[in-house]
Structure 1
Amino acid sequence: MGKQDARLIIFDMDGVILDSEPLHENARQMMFKKYGIIPDEKMPEAVGKSSSGFWRKVIEIYQIEGEPYALEKEQYHLVAKQIEENDVKPSDGLVELIMDAKEKGMGIALASSSTRILVDDSLRLLGIAEQFDVTVSGDEIPKKKPAPDVYLKVLELTGVKAEEAVAVEDSRAGIEAAKAAGIFCYGYDNPTSGMQDISKADQQIKSIREIKV
């Protein structure tokens, strides 16, 4: 089945729904300062991965006091605060794409590695929460991306087959997750998401506006 006759479009959140990676980076930098961490070459990769996993590695490497999920929660609180204070908008072309998809009777879903709290806060603050039929967060599935669990859960909840869906991702881990679930995946080359390898995507795009449904 080609992407033009898909019944469901599934979005990643960070870096796709909104340019949130700079907000996450700001939050991490604020927390490094707070906890006395001086980042160096040992600092683990953060983009496209689970934040609790990132903080688990940071705790081990830099020997700081803290619990991974508590630090993840603190980071996400700082991200939501920035979305609200800076009046952050959805990615360019996103709302139009959602409206076009809805007009054609397509379902709209979200598959995120972030926690339910950040997913709900972000969509609410962006004013688009009601547009989504199904949202699945990273704390609601056994394994986060690059495992396919989050996408398989979306398919289960919507009753749509993998070949009838398309995904939009901006990170290597996200693309691998969508592909492992058997879903056609657009790789969004978002400059604010850092240097991401999106070569495994079925189609690479520079703008959300390039996606036609």
Structure 2
Amino acid sequence: MGIEAVVFDLDGVIIDSEEVWEEVRRGYVAEYDREFLPDTQDRMMGMSTPEWSGHLAHEVGVPRTPEQVATDVLNRMAERYRTSLPLIPGSVEAVRRLGAHFPLGLASSSARILIDQVLETAGLTGAFRVTLSTEEVPRGKPAPDVYLAAAEKLGLSPAVCAAVEDSSNGLRSAAAAGMAVIAVPHGVYPPAADALAQASLTVKNIAELTPEAIDTLR
């Protein structure tokens, strides 16, 4: 049983966005004289928009509703992506290289507005047959919902799909969905050992990802 499709994560795989997210959200929180909790950054990696905006509103204490927090932060992020997209070197080429051999999906914790903006700025609009935000499924990562939905929309079993992920929650999500997991660990925000252990293949950077490597997974 070979791999028939590849599903990419976005943040940390195609764009090096975690530092941008942290900078924007820390700055936003500071405007209200609040500070991140010790585990806020780690907890928010992979969370859906309602989850992280709820965390900032209810636990960090930003005096805005989660919906208002989400709108505020997402608008700031979209503007950053329009003017300065933090593409990971080799990521666009990897998407095009794999897209020549496999149908592609995108399963991201980013909001739809950011997914669409990144793909437009990167010139990748149309490169993916399916794009999904965790906003559009019941639960965010590490639950498997977004990867299960991506496989369903591709018309395939998760067992014949490979997922490309970097974060602990993302790796756990793809593994829970039953996909073959490829880890591209982030240098600044590396995944936990137990999450990384669920990967069938680990590459140092996205430029190493080839159709031949995908073919070895099953």
Indicate whether the TM-score tops 0.5.
yes
Report what 1:164 is aligned to: 160
Structure 2 residue 134 is the aligned partner of structure 1 residue 138 = yes
Report what 1:155 is aligned to: 151
State whether residues 11 and 109 of structure 1, in contact with CA within 8 Å, keep that contact through their aligned partners in structure 2: yes
Distance change >3 Å, CA 111–CA 43, structure 1 → 2: closer
Residue ranges of structure 1 left out of the alignment (5+ in a row): none
What SS is found at the alignment partner of 2:126?
helix
How is 1:55-204 mapped onto 2 (pairs within 5 angstroms)? 55-86=53-84, 88=85, 90-104=87-101, 106-192=102-188, 194-197=189-192, 198-204=196-202
State whether residues 11 and 167 of structure 1, in contact with CA within 8 Å, keep that contact through their aligned partners in structure 2: yes
Computed over aligned residues only, the root mean square deviation of the Cα atoms, in angstroms, reads 1.9
Structure 2 CA distance for aligned equivalents of residues 38 and 95 of structure 1: 35
- AA of the residue aligned to 2:27: M
Moved more, 6-15 or 44-53: 44-53
CA deviation vs aligned residue, 1:93-113 (integer Å, no higher than 9, x gap): 222222222322x10110012
State whether residues 5 and 103 of structure 2, in contact with CA within 8 Å, keep that contact through their aligned partners in structure 1: yes
CA deviation vs aligned residue, 1:111-167 (integer Å, no higher than 9, x gap): 012221111112112221221111011111111111111111111111122222110
- AA of the residue aligned to 2:139: K
Report what 1:211 is aligned to: 209
Deviation for aligned residue 1:89: 5.0
Report what 1:11 is aligned to: 8
Report what 1:24 is aligned to: 21
- AA of the residue aligned to 1:160: L
What SS is found at the alignment partner of 1:23?
helix
Report what 1:52 is aligned to: 50
Structure 2 CA distance for aligned equivalents of residues 120 and 62 of structure 1: 29
Deviation for aligned residue 1:22: 1.2
State whether residues 36 and 60 of structure 2, in contact with CA within 8 Å, keep that contact through their aligned partners in structure 1: no
Structure 1 CA distance for aligned equivalents of residues 93 and 58 of structure 2: 44
What SS is found at the alignment partner of 1:196?
coil
Deviation for aligned residue 1:56: 1.8
Structure 2 CA distance for aligned equivalents of residues 41 and 180 of structure 1: 27
May I ask how many residue pairs the two structures share in their alignment? 207
Distance change >3 Å, CA 98–CA 128, structure 1 → 2: same
State whether residues 108 and 131 of structure 1, in contact with CA within 8 Å, keep that contact through their aligned partners in structure 2: yes
Distance change >3 Å, CA 6–CA 23, structure 1 → 2: same
- AA of the residue aligned to 2:118: S
- AA of the residue aligned to 1:130: G
Deviation for aligned residue 1:62: 3.9
What SS is found at the alignment partner of 1:19?
coil
State whether residues 143 and 149 of structure 1, in contact with CA within 8 Å, keep that contact through their aligned partners in structure 2: yes
